């Protein structure tokens, strides 16, 4: 199934797509796509509904982040061999883990804002996944059983803040609007093998990233197993798995986002995002 959230920011309603791509309202059956509603039994109950019996949402409402009330927003750095090469860095011996503040999360088509003082705001298309079942000390073999679904993430990054402003990467990863998520939360049965998905990103109609999750250094299962050794993952936690080559930082000379630019990005089977870039408020 493809689940999503729609409506004004902060007041999104849960929905699902029907066979023809129509948006159906789920609010009579679940309060939000968050927390316990992402448990396997909860999603199974929603998937058992006949979409044709659900109210059809008319018009073109705003699409919000595909999961609400996110507890943790984690990401993996340098997880594609060719991206590490363009960054001039060696592949890590174990996953590089960093956080993005949950306050950076926005919908897939919301504007991206360049923060004050930014000189190097960059793009990163990524495969994301959402935890659906508590994961603590899980093995790689059982790890994928803890995934509620997969989604598109743009891990927007300010490279100067990230690299030169001291401390952890979180400084360059957490500005408001730096975490577009969605449009859909796609259940694992529809995704198939998460290590065989194409992903891309265009800036102003020019293809900048064109990759595949086949070249990920650490797989989704390995990432879950690794993270669960250090912290308990809960339903609704969001993890971004790294980006393929083609980021602005890796170009010669580097190319960064400016007000008026438009990003379009997607992952096969998970939908498309489109963001316009604007200056800071």
List of residues 6+ apart from 16 with CB closer than 8 A: 1, 2, 3, 4, 23, 24, 26, 46, 49, 51, 54
Quote the mean pLDDT of the chain: 96
pLDDT of residue 281: 77
Confidence of residue 82 (pLDDT cuts 50, 70, 90): confident
Reported as a single tens digit per residue, the pLDDT across 88-146 is 778 899 999 999 999 999 999 999 999 999 999 999 999 999 999 999 999 999 999 99
> What pTM does this model have?
0.97
Q: How confident is the model at residue 86 (pLDDT cuts 50, 70, 90)?
A: confident
Is residue 15 a part of any domain in this protein? yes
| Closest of 122, 114, 149 to residue 259, by C-alpha | 114
Mean pLDDT, residues 28-33 taken together: 97
- The pLDDT tens digits of the residues spanning 229-247 come to 999 999 999 999 999 999 9
Whether residue 64 lies inside any domain: the answer is no
Answer yes or no: do 94 and 195 share one domain: yes
Please state, in angstroms and rounded to a whole number, the distance separating the CA atoms of residues 151 and 169.
22
- The verdict on 19 and 79 lying in the same domain is no
- Tell me the average pLDDT across 75-92: 84
Please determine, for residue 267, whether its predicted confidence score (pLDDT) is greater than 80.
yes
Residue 238 is assigned to a structural domain of this protein: yes
Give me the pLDDT at residue 119, please: 96
Domain that holds residue 97: 73-278
48 plus 103 within the same structural domain: no
Amino acid 280: pLDDT: 87
Query: How many independent structural domains does the chain possess?
Result: 2
CATH code of the domain covering residue 107: 3.90.850.10
Q: Could you give the percent of the chain with pLDDT greater than 90? A: 93
> Does residue 202 sit in the same domain as residue 79?
yes
| pLDDT value of position 59 | 96
180 and 247 housed in the same domain: yes
Report the pLDDT averaged over residues 169-188. Answer: 97
Q: Is 94 in the same domain as 167?
A: yes
Classify residue 216: in a domain, yes or no: yes
- Confidence at residue 94, expressed as pLDDT on a 0 to 100 scale: 95
The reply to whether 143 falls in a domain is yes
Mean pLDDT of 45-67: 97
3-state secondary structure the chain: CEEEEECCCCCCEEEEECCCCCEEECCCCCCCCCHHHHCHHHHHHHHCCCHHHCCECCCCCCECCCCCCCCCEEEEECCEHHHHHHCCCCCCCCCEEEECCHHHEECCCCCEECCCCCCCEECCEEEEEEECCCECCCCHHHHHHHEEEEEEEECCEEHHHHHHCCCCCHHHHCCCCCEEECCCEECHHHHCCCCCCEEEEEECCEEEEEEEHHHECCCHHHHHHHHCCCCCECCCCEEECCCCCCCHHHCCCCCCCCCCCEEEEEECCCEEEEEEEECCC
């Amino acid at each position: 199934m493809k689940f999503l959230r729609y409506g004004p920011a902060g007041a999104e309603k849960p929905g699902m797509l029907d066979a023809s791509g129509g948006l159906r309202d789920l609010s009579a059956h679940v309060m939000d796509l968050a927390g316990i509603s992402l448990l396997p039994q909860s999603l199974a109950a929603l998937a058992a509904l006949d979409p044709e019996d659900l109210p059809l949402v008319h018009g073109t409402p705003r699409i919000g982040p595909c999961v609400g009330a996110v507890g943790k927003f984690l990401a993996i750095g340098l997880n594609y061999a060719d991206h590490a090469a363009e960054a001039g860095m060696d592949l890590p011996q174990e996953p590089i883990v960093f956080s993005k503040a949950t306050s950076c999360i926005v919908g897939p088509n919301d504007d991206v804002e360049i923060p004050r003082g930014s000189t190097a705001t960059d793009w990163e298309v990524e495969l994301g996944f959402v935890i659906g079942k508590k994961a603590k000390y899980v093995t790689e073999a059982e790890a994928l059983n803890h995934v509620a679904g997969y989604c598109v993430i743009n891990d927007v990054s300010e490279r100067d803040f990230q690299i030169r402003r001291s401390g952890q990467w979180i400084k360059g990863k957490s500005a408001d609007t730096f975490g577009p998520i969605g449009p859909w939360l796609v259940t694992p049965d529809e995704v198939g093998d998460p290590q065989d998905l194409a992903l891309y990103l265009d800036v102003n109609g020019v293809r900048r990233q064109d990759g595949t999750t086949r070249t990920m250094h650490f797989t989704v299962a390995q990432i879950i197993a690794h993270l669960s050794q250090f912290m308990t993952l809960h339903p609704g936690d969001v993890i971004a798995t790294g980006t393929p080559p083609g980021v602005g930082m890796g170009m010669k000379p580097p190319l960064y986002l400016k007000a008026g630019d438009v990003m379009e990005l997607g992952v096969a089977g998970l939908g498309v995002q489109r963001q316009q870039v604007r200056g800071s408020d």
